[in-house]
Amino acid sequence: MNKAKLKTQDTLQHQPTLLTVSEAAQELRISNWLLYELIRKGQLKTLTIATRRLIAADDLANFINERKEQEYET
């Protein structure tokens, strides 16, 4: 059981659960400006902590999966 907890902690340390706009844009291979457009249009969810706008890694993964489903349907 301790090994499982340690493994989870190691994974969390290597992969952030919250990404900055720049980090999320890099993951998607798009500009910051285009990412802000996706946010403005409500296509990508964000969190605001103090003055920082952050994207949860699972929300980014959901966005990618939704886009894949849309693309593959056509």
Structural domain of residue 49, as residue ranges? Answer: 17-73
Classify residue 49 as exposed, middle or buried by CB count within 10 Å of its CB (0-12, 13-18, 19+): exposed
Q: Which residue's structure tokens are 């890099």?
A: 26
pLDDT surpasses 60 at 70: yes
Mean pLDDT of the chain: 86
pLDDT surpasses 80 at 46: yes
Reported confidence tier of residue 59, pLDDT bands at 50, 70, 90: very high
The answer to the question of residue 8 being in a domain is no
pLDDT of residue 14: 60
CATH of the domain at 58: 1.10.1660
Give the best-scoring range by mean pLDDT among 13-22, 29-38, 62-71.
Answer: 29-38
CA distance linking residue 24 with residue 9, whole number of Å: 22
Q: Specify the pTM.
A: 0.74
CB 56 within 8 A of CB 72: no
Pair of tokens at residue 6: 């340690």
Domains in the chain, number: 1
What single letter denotes the amino acid at residue 15?
A: Q
